[in-house]
Structures are given as C-alpha cells and as structure tokens.
Structure 1
Amino acid sequence: MKGQLLKAMQRNQLVDMMYIAKNGEITKRRIKVTKVSDDKFNAYCFLKHANRVFCIDNVLALVPVIRKEREVI
C-alpha cells in the first residue's frame, strides 16, 4: 500500500480510497497524496475539503483516478 501511495504522490495523481476510521466507519474519499512517512501519510481530502493525516494500515483500497479526454473537453 505504501508503494502505491508513493507512486501516486510522485505522479501527482488523484486517488480514490476506501478508508476505515478509528471508530470503524468506512468511507470512500478522493485524495491527493502530499507526504508519505513510515506508518502515516498526508493528503488533501476532497470529501472534507481539507488536508488530513491518514494511517496507512487503515487504507482498505486505492484506485487511481483516470481522467478521460471527453471529460476534459
């Protein structure tokens, strides 16, 4: 998972993430990774419209956001 986060950060790529919070709540968030450390990472969360710190172990899935040409035009 850490490798995927580093790759997304290096490519400046948006990622859809399934995340389980400390209270057990599962959310789907669109994020932009800004920093990765040993067990946590910082990202801008488009759901909360704020910078957040996430625990790498609580990430359930990561999927890169692929923008298609027709969405740009």
Structure 2
Amino acid sequence: MRKQLLKSMDCNTELDMVYLAKDGRVTKRRVKVIQVGEESIRAYCYLRKSKRTFTIDNVLALVPVTRRERDVV
C-alpha cells in the first residue's frame, strides 16, 4: 500500500480510496497524495475540498484513477 501511495505522489496522479474513519464508518474518497509519512499521509480530498491527514492503517483499498483519452480532449 505504501509503495502505491509513493508512486501516486511521484506521478502526481489521483487515487480512489476506501477509508475507515475513526467513528467506524467506511467512506470512499478521491484524493491526490501530497506527502507520505511513517504512519499517515497528507492528501487533498476532493470530497471535502481540503487537505486532510489519513492514517495509513485505516486505508482499506486504493485504486488509481484512469482518465479516458476522450475525457481529456
């Protein structure tokens, strides 16, 4: 998981993330990783429209966001 976070940060790509919140709720968020620490990541969260800190152990799944060529042009 950490390797995928670092790659996303280096390539400046977005990720769809399934995250377990402190209160036990599972949320899906689209993020852009800014910084990867030992236990947490700093990322821009498109759901909250702000920079947020996420605990790496609470990240349940990560999927790279792929853009179709048609969407870019």
The alignment status of 1:2 with 2:6, answered yes or no, reads no
Structure 1 consecutive aligned stretches of length 4 or more whose deviation exceeds 2 Å: none
TM-score (norm 1): 0.97
Aligned partners of 1:46, 1:58: CA distance in 2, in Å? 18
Write out per-residue CA displacement over residues 28-68 of structure 1, whole angstroms, 9 at most, x where no aligned residue.
00000000010100000000000000000000000000111
Length-normalised TM-score, structure 2:
0.97
Structure 2: state its 5+ residue gaps.
none
Alignment partner, residue 13 of structure 1: 13
CA distance in 1, matches of 2:24, 2:39: 19
Matched, 1:52 2:48: no
Question: What is the count of residue pairs matched by the alignment?
Answer: 73
Match status 1:42 vs 2:42: yes
**Root-mean-square deviation (Å):** 0.5
